[in-house]
Amino acid sequence: MKRVAVIGTGQTKHTKARDDVSQTELVREATTRALADAGITIHEVDAIVLSNMELFEGRALPEMWVGEGAGGYRKPVTKIATGGTSGTSACIAGYHQCASGLFDIVLVVGWEKHSEGATQTGMALTDPLWDRNVASGAVGNFALSISQYVAERGVTPQQAAKIAVKARRNAARNPNAHLQMDGITVEKVLESRMLADPVHLLDMCPQSDGACAVIYAAEDRAKKLCPRPAWVRAAVTRHDQPYIGDLDRRLVTMRTLRDAAREAYQRVGISEPLKEIDVAEIYEPVSYAELAWYEALGFCAEGEAGRLIDDGVTEMNGELPVNPSGGVLSTNPVGASGVIRVAEAAAQVMGRAGDHQVADVRLALATGYGVYAWSDVMILSAG
Amino acid sequence: MTELLRVSHTMTLSWRYGTSWYFAEFIRALRDERRLLGLRCPVCRRVYLPPRVVCGNCYAELSEWVEVKDSGTVRAFTIVHIPIVDPTSGQPRPTPYGMALIQLDGADTTLNHYLAENNPAKLRIGMRVQAVWREERRGTLSDIVHFAAMNNQTMNDEQ
Amino acid sequence: MQPINILGVGRTDYNPKPDISIPEMVHRAVQAALADAGLTMKDVDARVTASADLWDGLTASNVAITEVVGAVMQPEARVAGDGLLAACHGAMSILAGAYNVVLVVAHCKSSMGDSDGITNWTFDPIFQQPLGLNDVAASALQASTLSLAPPLPCPIADGAAAIILSHASPLPTPHLIGMGWALDEHYLGDRDLTDSPALREAARRAYTLADIDDPKRDITFVELSDQFDYQRKLWASVLFGKTSEVAHTAKTSEVSARGVPPFVAGLDRLIEVVLRLRKESGTALAHGCWGPCGQGQAVVVVRQ
């Protein structure tokens, strides 16, 4: 494959409600910042890939209205929508478009403005003949899968709460993050309102308004435009069966993430992910999921995820910092959340992550999660 | 600065979903005979509930109906405390309520449904449950009110 | 660009299918495409699907077709737009070296919902949506700028279409040699509705890749997405110029895309082109459009 690198990223400030901007302006904000970061103008962008879940805002073909915010006027625009993985799938699509040789510069922008729509109504549009007869919602469904994971792995509410604390404390150093809670503690997480046993309010991701952009360049352009580009080394997608009941102990096995990571590691030549990867930005919709993803990603043996957080291995100063940005637990504009993972991983490689920069990042991992168990995995590297 | 305004739209859409032969048969048996039917994969022998066109693992077409019992084993459970919109009514469902992934006897998939019990201390993975049916059936999963522990044998785990 | 082979095509009819589920409908098209290509699902490396949540009445609606497109534990990208765009993306992922064989599938059942209501949601929520604009009303405006009578609404249509792309082929097949797509401005008042700069741009990009200097000379025939009856003339004049009406009419197939569902129409045009190129040599153009008054435009050039 042709070599392609991320040469710039840009995000809006993510908040509960951005009443001061339209969706188009929100997208324009992220786009403008990414262009400035890459040191290019919109005229140099050859193609655009967008990511958004239209039902959340009640839009049909939202790129028709919002596309101009990404400079889409008379340019090739493709919109990707695959649920929670929309953002990472758009990043993989943008990478493929750039690696095709047809385009030198490809812009990917994801956005969601949950405050403008009825997210719960959108989420409730599941299979009308099956799931729609049962009010479980995303929280209830996670809680079900978590009960299996807890039963088999013995992770504790305290260990999950540590994940929630890590995310919000990291977010306090990320000016774009939605939930910045420097003073959060394990006790406060466990005292927060119970949503669905054993998931507390502070174990869950929020809904945010926000947009995030990533700019890819083909090899020659990347080398000219960026002193330390983040090269794409692997991009793998795995989808799974349509109903939650089809999946054998979803969080325990998480076969899509396991298989996608295995293939990505193989392509890059990674045999010991915990040692070799310098930073990871993973899509953790709920605290417990991050523990399950540690196992699926091969950061630890099965049943060892709780120990990983107890030992601080994935904290900012640990062996493999996970989600220095604060992750999805701190910021979640769904169509943008996957793009944020890739943007943050790239910014770490480029050395542009600001106050949440991890030292000497050469190899970074980004993942996407969506639907019941769909996964994307991308690996970026310096050089 | 001019005061910011919000423009509100109430948007209403409705859809008519086709059942195809497989959901039509499932609904008929549920409504008319109070039977739950699954489809067995000819390759991996997995029994699927809900029925579908192909087994995604084998990419094999399904056609062999298998009757599944209305009793089963709890494979996962939770108590929901937040009001979640009940898609059948459009209104938040009163809380707290129990939910489970139930592997019905004869099925290889699990069914996401309500539990009669909402005290977590009385629930455990592996417990046996039985469907409680409504008098009037319409041919949807809502024909089952919820699942209740079998014969007061709450602690009587699966053999 | 390196030519991409079109190994197989398949589609359902487009009659309303109120009783048929989306997965079963898509399954029929996929099976037809696999049979046409002489392949099994094991031969397929990745899929690009095209559909839209609001038309399907499902959130992340490609969930419903995961199994019938063979995407379990496999890659799938879902383009929320026209199937011709999905074909372009599938071709690009092959050019990128990511996959060898890609299945492209588009579906829609316009009998399921309220097209006028849904397409009203396409317009910006502040200025245009409250006017009650929808695709039919916008097309009537476009027709009036061309001094034509208001177009008939699109017939209700349900169906799915599928094609299989590959960088290699054991047998000579029609191959995709050029592609381009673009978006126009959104606000109807910003646009010259008698023209389509996005279509011109999409065609320019496709011709550049296909090394076509003179489309009037080099393009043998054209399949256009004409959901509204006036559109065939409009798109043809944008592609070939108003002065060459005789030439473009001769080249424009009599097969109309009217009655092909949204999101499927562009891919259906490509299938039409492929089927004809299996019988006669030439260079053909398949066209797709989506959004109000064809705000989105795509062109694919195929040669045999």
User: C160-201, pLDDT tens digit by residue?
Assistant: 999 999 998 878 899 999 999 999 999 999 999 999 999 999
Provide the H-helix boundaries in C252-300: 265-277
State what percent of residues in chain B have pLDDT above 90: 80
Give the pLDDT band (50/70/90) at residue B91.
confident
For residue C253, the model assigns a pLDDT of: 75
Encode pLDDT of C196-218 as tens digits: 999 999 999 999 999 999 998 99
Chain A nearest C-alpha distance from B69 (Å): 16
Full pLDDT tens readout for chain A, 383 residues: 889 999 999 999 999 999 999 999 999 999 999 999 999 999 999 999 999 999 899 899 999 999 999 999 899 999 999 999 999 999 999 999 999 999 999 999 999 999 998 887 788 788 888 988 887 888 999 999 999 999 999 999 999 999 999 999 999 999 999 999 999 999 999 999 999 999 999 999 999 999 999 999 999 999 999 999 999 999 999 999 999 999 999 999 999 999 999 999 999 999 999 999 999 999 999 999 999 999 999 999 999 999 999 999 999 999 999 999 999 999 999 999 999 999 999 999 999 999 999 999 999 999 999 999 999 999 999 98
- Nearest residue of chain C to residue A267 (CA atoms): C98
H/E element, C287: strand C283-290
Chain A residues lying within 8 Å of C60, measured CB to CB: 53, 81-83, 370-371
Give the pLDDT band (50/70/90) at residue C248.
low
Contact C68 B53 (CB under 8 A): yes
Chain A residues lying within 8 Å of B110, measured CB to CB: 244-245
Size of interface A-B (CB pairs under 8 A): 119
Give the pLDDT band (50/70/90) at residue B155.
very low
Chain B nearest C-alpha distance from C125 (Å): 8
Size of interface B-C (CB pairs under 8 A): 71
Put simply, whether B129 touches A (Cβ < 8 Å) is no
Chain A residues lying within 8 Å of B81, measured CB to CB: 193-197
Q: What is the C-alpha separation between C152 and B152, in angstroms, rounded?
A: 65
- Nearest residue of chain A to residue B143 (CA atoms): A133
When scoring C24, C26, C56, C63 by the number of chain A Cβ atoms within 10 A, the one with the most, hence best to mutate, is: C63
Chain B nearest C-alpha distance from C196 (Å): 31
Residues A171 and A215 occupy one common structural domain? no
Selecting from C66, C81, C119 the residue whose C-beta is nearest the C-beta of A78 gives C81
Chain A nearest C-alpha distance from B138 (Å): 12
Encode pLDDT of C55-71 as tens digits: 999 999 999 999 999 99
Among candidate residues A225, A260, A293, the one where a domain is terminated: A225
Q: Phi and psi of C15, rounded to 5°?
A: -65, 150
CATH code for position A130: 3.40.47.10
pLDDT surpassing 90 at residue B151: no
For every residue of A200-216, DSSP letters joined together read EGGGB----EEEEEEEE
Q: Kindly list the partner chains of chain C, i.e. chains with 3 or more CB atom pairs below 8 Å.
A: A, B
Chain A residues lying within 8 Å of C205, measured CB to CB: 76
Contact B15 C113 (CB under 8 A): yes
Q: What is the C-alpha separation between A94 and A45, in angstroms, rounded?
A: 12
* Residue partners of A172: CB distance under 8 A and separation at least 6: A180, A181, A182, A326
pLDDT surpassing 80 at residue C243: no
Q: By CB neighbour count within 10 A (0-12 exposed, 13-18 middle, 19+ buried), where does C186 fall?
A: buried
Chain B nearest C-alpha distance from C210 (Å): 37
Q: What is the C-alpha separation between B76 and B59, in angstroms, rounded?
A: 28
Residue B6 lies in a domain: no
Range of the domain at A173: 124-206+236-381
Selecting from B15, B53, B57 the residue whose C-beta is nearest the C-beta of C23 gives B53
Contact B78 A20 (CB under 8 A): no
- Nearest residue of chain B to residue A201 (CA atoms): B82
Residue A290 lies in a domain: yes
Q: What is the C-alpha separation between C218 and B153, in angstroms, rounded?
A: 79
Domains of chain C with bracketed CATH: 4-110+157-166 (3.40.47.10), 175-303 (3.40.47.10)
Round the CA-based radius of gyration of chain B to a whole number and report it: 19
For residue B156, the model assigns a pLDDT of: 46
Three-state secondary structure call for residue A82: strand
Q: Which residue has the higher pLDDT, A69 or B157?
A: A69
Chain B nearest C-alpha distance from C122 (Å): 12
Residue A101 lies in a domain: yes
Q: What are the tokens at C42?
A: 């094991």
Ranges of beta strands (E only) in chain A are 4-11, 47-51, 77-80, 105-113, 194-196, 199-200, 209-218, 230-238, 279-281, 363-370, 374-381
Residues A67 and A143 occupy one common structural domain? no
Contact C122 A61 (CB under 8 A): yes
Selecting from B9, B78, B87 the residue whose C-beta is nearest the C-beta of A124 gives B87
Chain A residues lying within 8 Å of C209, measured CB to CB: 102
Q: What are the tokens at A335?
A: 């169509």
Q: What is the C-alpha separation between A350 and A362, in angstroms, rounded?
A: 9
Q: Which residue has the higher pLDDT, B10 or B126?
A: B126
* Residue partners of A1: CB distance under 8 A and separation at least 6: A99, C96, C97, C98
Among candidate residues A225, A256, A289, the one where a domain is terminated: A225
Chain A nearest C-alpha distance from B139 (Å): 9
Contact A196 B78 (CB under 8 A): yes
How many structural domains is chain B composed of?
1
The question of ipTM being above 0.85 is answered as yes
Q: What is the C-alpha separation between C113 and C103, in angstroms, rounded?
A: 27
Contact B101 A244 (CB under 8 A): yes
Interface of B with C (CB under 8 A): 7, 9, 11-24, 52-57, 59
Q: Phi and psi of A25, rounded to 5°?
A: -70, -35
Q: What are the tokens at B142?
A: 């809502």
Range of the domain at B111: 20-152
Contact A58 B84 (CB under 8 A): no
Q: What does the pLDDT average to over B93-111?
A: 96
Q: What are the tokens at C247?
A: 């030439």
Which B residues 85-114 touch A at CB under 8 Å?
A: 85-88, 93, 99-101, 109-114
Q: What is the C-alpha separation between A363 and A369, in angstroms, rounded?
A: 20
Encode pLDDT of C28-64 as tens digits: 999 999 999 999 999 999 999 999 999 999 999 999 9
Residue A230 lies in a domain: no
Residue A60 lies in a domain: yes
Residues A191 and A176 occupy one common structural domain? yes
Q: Kindly list the partner chains of chain B, i.e. chains with 3 or more CB atom pairs below 8 Å.
A: A, C
How many structural domains is chain A composed of?
2
Chain C nearest C-alpha distance from B150 (Å): 34
For residue B159, the model assigns a pLDDT of: 40
Which B residues 35-94 touch A at CB under 8 Å?
A: 48-50, 52, 56-57, 75-82, 84-88, 93
